[in-house]
Amino acid sequence: MGLKPYLGLRGNALLRAALFFVVCPTFTCYGYNMGVTGGLLTLEAFNSQFPKMDTIHTHGAAYKENSQMQGTVIALYTVGGIFGALSCIYLGDLWGRRKVIFITNFISIIGAILMATSFDFAQFIVARLVLGLGIGGYVATVPVWQSELSPAHKRGSNVVTNGVFMGIGVTGALWIDLGFYFIKNNSVSWRFPLAFQIVMPVMAMFFIAVLPESPRWLIKDGQVEEGRKVLAALLDLDEYSDEVNENILSIETSLAYCPGAWTEMFKNGEQRLFHRAYLAATGQMFQQMCGVNLITYYATTIFQQYLGMNAVNSRVLAASMTMMQPLGGYLAYFTIDRLGRRPLMLWSGVAMTICMAGLAGTTSPSAADNTGALAMAVVFLFCFQFIFTVGFCGLTFLYAAEMAPLQVRAAVNAVSTATVWAFSFMIAQVTPVGFSTIGSRYYIIFAVVNAAIVPSVYFFFPETKGRSLEEIDEIFAQSKSIFDPPRVARAMQKRAKQARELNSDCGDTSTNEVVVSEEVKA
């Protein structure tokens, strides 16, 4: 007998398998690479192998030159990520979600092998680019696949778990870095941490081959019967049940209503595609410009070089600090479908502003010998990591996938993910220079940016909780300006609540989790 389709799983069990066997290893690997290199930059063996990036044993002009080189090499990983993400504009719909995830994981394995076996500076640079190319491709695709599998009432909690997995990856990387720090004068101290990540894409490649394709992509590709089978498995219903038929109808209606070419996302039209692509990219820009990567990439360096701690304590604190990310992700998991996307982003923006302003004050030259100020700086760093994961880690990937209609979802998500990599590149590139030139005042820049996030979200970002992906299309179809979507979303939510109350009064308590609203059908 052959293997049962989708490992014999249906309903919630199938969703959990997709979450833990594909989403978990891919985003854990993504987070792992955000943290692993930063913990190696202060190793003796690493700096002996690549002296052009040594900022520990250099001073004056040599220090500034090496700081720039270090920032460039670390940031080249994000350049690969930009091109990996942008490739999905075309390949995401041509190959489908599963094939793109499989191939990009394979490319990331090649990059990891090249990086762990580097003896030459040029090989290390090429390896960073290849690794970024693979990871950029699957980070642009996995949230789309995940959101297209999930029912409306679970989509937020399912996709926001990406932040938990990213946090686990960052934390794991820094603890592994700490363990191998004690292996002195041996290249295994940095080669093993770089090679360890290979386990995760191998796992993702195996399971994506046996789990279902996105039913929305299958229907878009003309494979309606296969899409029907996947929907039936996800909903744990008969293939020809009314609910499965309703879902197929709503998807086909959305496809008929929206133009198909990916270039349409640069035009507004009735569906306001450019407006939606802009919101998706802006949310992802906020994720990077809040300042998380200046802390994540350079956590060990901040504690050791800029807060004056010894090497062991710096690594322990850096690894402990990133443990705040999984905790923040768990809080987001339990609140995102209850409170909504907007409240989490708004309150997180306020709290991150306070943390960055506090860091600027507690790490200033006037507080250099103040033990209390140093302790508060550590507290602000820990708080920032926790708060970021609640409002901006996995949430912006979810929001970007929700913003785009099916016909251009892969393209919009590719562009929004490329935005993540582009701003990540900028932060990684300028952070060593920023710290070496303006010191603690560098944090003020991010305090201002975080303060600007709050009014931006309030006035321009609509609430999407509880809405099917097709219903979100209707929010923008009813909007006539950039200020309308939040108001339209509130009005639709109010009407939906009134309809539920009316049905309850009439004794009809049935609910349909993923069927499009009557407004969209009309």
Q: What is the pLDDT of residues 318-375, one digit of tens each?
A: 888 888 888 888 899 889 988 999 999 999 999 999 999 998 888 887 766 777 887 8
Q: What is the pLDDT of residue 367?
A: 66
- Class of residue 302 by CB neighbours under 10 A (exposed 0-12, middle 13-18, buried 19+): buried
**301: closest CA among 63, 126, 23?**
63
pLDDT tens digits for 346-357? 999 999 999 999
SS3 letters for 325-394?
HHHHHHHHHHHHHHHCHHHHHHHHHHHHHHHHHHHHHHCCHHHCCCHHHHHHHHHHHHHHHHHHHHHHHC
Please tell me the predicted confidence (pLDDT) of residue 308: 74
Which residue stretches of 96-209 are H helix?
A: 97-116, 121-149, 152-181, 188-196, 199-208
Measured distance CA(98)–CA(173) in Å, rounded: 27
- How far apart CA 484 and CA 409 sit, in angstroms, is 21
Query: What is the CB-side half-sphere exposure of residue 49 using CA atoms within 13 A?
Result: 24
pLDDT at 515: 38
pLDDT band at 17 (very low <50, low <70, confident <90, very high): very high
User: What's the DSSP call for residue 235?
Assistant: H
User: If DSSP states are collapsed to H, E and C, what string results for 47-116?
Assistant: HHHCHHHCCCCCCHHHHHHHHHHHHHHHHHHHHHHHHHHHHHHHHHHHHCHHHHHHHHHHHHHHHHHHHH
8: pLDDT strictly greater than 50: yes
* pLDDT tens, residue by residue, 238-290: 999 999 999 899 888 877 776 667 788 888 888 888 999 999 999 999 998 99
Cα distance between residue 135 and residue 425, in whole Å:
14
Average pLDDT estimate for 158-175: 87
- Binned at pLDDT 50, 70 and 90, residue 3 comes out as low
Tokens found for residue 194: 């770089």
Range picked from 76-85, 96-105, 294-303 for highest mean pLDDT: 96-105
Q: What is the mean pLDDT of residues 50-71?
A: 82
pLDDT number for residue 429 = 75
State both tokens at 33.
């690479």
d(CA 35, CA 293): 9
Minimal CA–CA distance to 153: which of 225, 235, 95? Answer: 235
Mean pLDDT of 70-96: 88
Token reading at 306: 């800029």
What is the tens place of the pLDDT at every residue in 413-451?
999 999 999 998 888 778 877 877 887 888 999 999 999
Closest by Cα among 324, 268, 273 to 295: 324
Percent of the chain predicted with pLDDT > 90: 44
Backbone phi and psi for residue 83, each to the nearest 5 degrees, phi listed first: -70, -35
**Residue 299 predicted with pLDDT over 80:** no
475: phi then psi, degrees, rounded to nearest 5: -55, -45
Integer Cα distance of 304 and 15 in angstroms: 42
CB 79 within 8 A of CB 424: no
Judged against a pLDDT cut of 80, whether residue 519 lies above it is answered with no
End-to-end CA distance of the chain: 46
In degrees, to the nearest 5, what angle opens at C-alpha 231 toward C-alphas 229 and 236? 95
Backbone angles phi, psi at 117, to 5 degrees: -105, 15
- At 399 the pLDDT is 92
Q: Is 241 exposed, middle or buried (0-12, 13-18, 19+ CB in 10 A)?
A: middle
Contact by Cβ (8 Å): 170, 193: no
| Amino acid making up residue 37 | T
**Beta-carbon count within 10 A of 60 CB:** 7
The answer on pLDDT for 192 being more than 80 is yes
As a whole number, the mean pLDDT across the chain is 86
Query: What pLDDT was estimated at residue 77?
Result: 87
SS (H, E, C) 428-460: HHHHHHHHHHHHHHHHHHHHHHHHHHHHHHHHH
Structure-model confidence comparison of residues 434 and 120, the more confident one: 120
Q: How far apart are CA 270 and CA 476, in angstroms?
A: 8
Choose among 145, 144, 146, 140: nearest CA to 161. Answer: 146
Residues 6+ away with beta carbon under 8 Å from 298: 38, 41, 431, 432, 435
Residue 58: is its pLDDT beyond 50? yes
Cβ atoms within 10 Å, residue 308? 11
Lowest mean pLDDT among 101-115, 204-218, 421-435: 421-435
Query: Which residue has tokens 């394709």?
Result: 213
- What confidence score (pLDDT) does residue 521 get? 40
Domains of the chain: 9-211+268-477 (1.20.1250.20)
Q: Is the pLDDT of residue 513 over 50?
A: no
Nearest in space to 15 (alpha carbons), one of 200, 139, 145? 145
**Contact between 201 and 105 (Cβ < 8 Å):** yes
Structure tokens at 5: 């389709």
